[in-house]
């Protein structure tokens, strides 16, 4: 048991008990939970336009320019692929399947606007004050806030939760200002057309994948070193192979050195010169090389809050900064996963811990270990054309932690039943489990397949409870499904046997 983490006084005399700075997934989660638990809460949210002028409503990155529009466009691309292959299953078409970008963009944006409105209604109904203003600290308990017309005010609170997330960066090369980012892509009025994607993380490959499969134009990805760094390499290889087979051009080992705007009549194009001396002309240049925490204007240095100066992120322990009444959650926290569900859970748990001071007798209560955010064994999915699902350690991480001689890797290269009629590359999917040799405990599970996200979620619950390889082997699979691969793996890497599966 751990004691409370600050000296909160319910009779503080400030405007609010808690001000949450940032109205994204984490900020909304923390604010609503705190209000339910008896705090007076305000949410401060103001979207600064991207360098290209894009802006959006309440809800943060995930809802407006991240997970939601990305997944919808990924699904649109999958529908196109399904339509293309439907003839193999007896469907007749004239082969002229055409996608309309404007229709998709409008429908996605209409859905997002509905979510924006819904969040405002939720805050109102739950008694959270929504303040559409940009804030900065002018004292330990005071914020100066300014609205879109430049009018200023000062508000105060006993505690603050910083949940401002991050924003994408532009290319660091001449002409970098001509690029767009994921802050702009989902609102483009016209199809991106022939596109150069700079970067090799999950945002870059997800966007490259759906632009390719929506048939909007040829897509070239500039990869500085390796695609999807930090993910299991066997799994990544399958993802990349699929993208290449579908027409995405990945150039490994290059970066842009110059982006030149070329105007032909009423059409702007961009000549991108690569570090290997080659170049090409594109309709759109999309930069997805990373994000920087949106902390520059908060004036945190005036309070002495410890920061990582390289990425602008806040250094925190159990979401608490070195200034005890100021907390941080989500992507703005250094060395934590940049995932929406992580921010939501961290915000909810933090609010519960902070409420431990709200007892009537003002007696310090205790907080149990399960009230803290556990950043280990968190599942995630990359929504590339062939989806990647992962939880736990990669093979590379397991070797570093336990030693290669102390782990066993089970794997299978397989073909989902749905793919067997499509004349695709054989065994284009992969399932992989990593265990410790001493006790057969599962320390990593990975899969590249259709619906990988839906598959890996359930296994993450099992892993958090302590999953053993024997548990999987003693589980009867559902046939014929992709997920049964993970309960039927018997071939190990160390055996040298062929892991390519044949038969059903």
Give yes or no: 84 in active site.
Answer: no
What does the angle CA 441 – CA 445 – CA 448 come to, to the nearest 5 degrees?
160
User: 355-364: which pairs have CB atoms within 8 A and are 24 or more residues apart?
Assistant: 355/34, 355/37, 355/38, 355/39, 356/4, 357/4, 357/8, 357/10, 358/10, 358/37, 358/38, 358/39, 362/10, 364/3, 364/4
Catalytic residue, from 74, 85, 178, 479: name it. 479
* Ordered DSSP codes for 15-60: SEEEEEE--SHHHHHHHHHHHHTT--EEEE---PPPTT-----TTH
471-475 — which CB contacts under 8 Å span 24+ positions?
Answer: 472/433, 472/442
Q: Phi and psi for 83 in degrees, rounded to 5?
A: -65, -40
The burial of 48, by beta-carbon neighbours within 10 Å (0-12 exposed, 13-18 middle, 19 or more buried), is given as exposed
Residues 379, 381, 386, CA angle at the centre, nearest 5°? 145
Let me know: does 59 contact 116? Beta carbons within 8 Å: yes
As annotated, the active-site residues are 479
């Amino acid at each position: 048991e751990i004691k409370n983490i600050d000296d909160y006084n319910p009779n503080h005399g400030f405007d609010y008990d808690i001000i949450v700075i940032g109205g994204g997934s984490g900020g909304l989660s923390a604010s609503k939970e705190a209000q339910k638990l008896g705090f007076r809460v305000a949410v401060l949210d103001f979207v600064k336009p991207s360098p290209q002028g894009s802006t959006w409503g309440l809800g943060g990155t995930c809802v407006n320019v991240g997970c939601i529009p990305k997944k919808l466009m990924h699904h649109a691309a999958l529908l196109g692929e399904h339509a293309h292959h439907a003839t193999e299953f007896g469907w007749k078409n004239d082969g002229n399947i055409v996608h309309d970008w404007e229709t998709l963009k409008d429908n996605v944006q209409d859905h997002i606007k509905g979510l924006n409105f819904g969040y405002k209604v939720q805050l109102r109904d739950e008694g959270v004050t929504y303040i559409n203003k940009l804030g900065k600290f002018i004292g330990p308990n005071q914020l100066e806030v300014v609205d879109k017309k430049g009018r200023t005010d000062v508000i105060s609170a006993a505690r603050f939760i910083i949940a401002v997330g991050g924003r994408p960066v532009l290319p660091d090369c001449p002409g970098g200002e001509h690029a767009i980012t994921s802050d702009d892509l989902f609102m483009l009025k016209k199809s991106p057309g022939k596109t150069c994607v700079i970067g090799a993380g999950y945002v870059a490959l997800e966007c490259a994948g759906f632009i390719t499969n929506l048939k909007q134009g040829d897509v070239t990805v500039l990869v500085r070193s390796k695609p999807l760094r930090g993910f299991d390499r066997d799994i990544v290889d399958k993802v990349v192979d699929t993208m290449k087979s579908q027409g995405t051009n990945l150039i490994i080992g290059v970066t842009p050195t110059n982006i030149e705007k070329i105007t032909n009549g009423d059409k702007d194009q961009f000549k991108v010169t690569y570090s290997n001396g080659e170049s090409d002309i594109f309709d759109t240049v999309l930069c997805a090389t990373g994000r920087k925490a949106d902390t520059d204007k908060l004036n945190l240095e005036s309070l002495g809050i410890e920061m990582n100066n390289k990425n602008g992120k806040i250094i925190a322990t159990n979401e608490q900064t070195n200034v005890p009444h100021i907390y941080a959650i989500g992507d703005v926290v250094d060395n934590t996963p940049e995932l929406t569900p992580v921010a939501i859970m961290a915000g909810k748990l933090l609010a519960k811990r902070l409420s431990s001071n709200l007892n009537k007798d003002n007696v310090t209560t205790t907080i149990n270990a399960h009230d803290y955010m556990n950043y280990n064994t968190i599942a995630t999915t990359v929504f590339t054309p062939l989806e990647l699902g992962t939880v736990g350690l990669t093979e590379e991480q397991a070797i570093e932690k336990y030693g290669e001689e102390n782990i066993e890797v089970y794997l299978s290269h397989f073909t989902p039943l749905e793919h067997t009629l499509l004349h695709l590359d054989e065994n284009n999917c992969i399932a992989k489990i990593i265990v410790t040799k001493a006790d057969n405990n599962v320390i990593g599970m990975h899969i590249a397949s259709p619906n990988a996200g839906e598959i890996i979620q359930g296994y993450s619950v099992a892993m958090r409870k302590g999953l053993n390889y024997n548990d999987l082997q003693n589980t009867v699979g559902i046939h014929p499904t992709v997920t049964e691969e993970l309960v039927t793996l018997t071939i190990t890497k160390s055996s040298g046997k062929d892991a390519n599966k044949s038969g059903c």
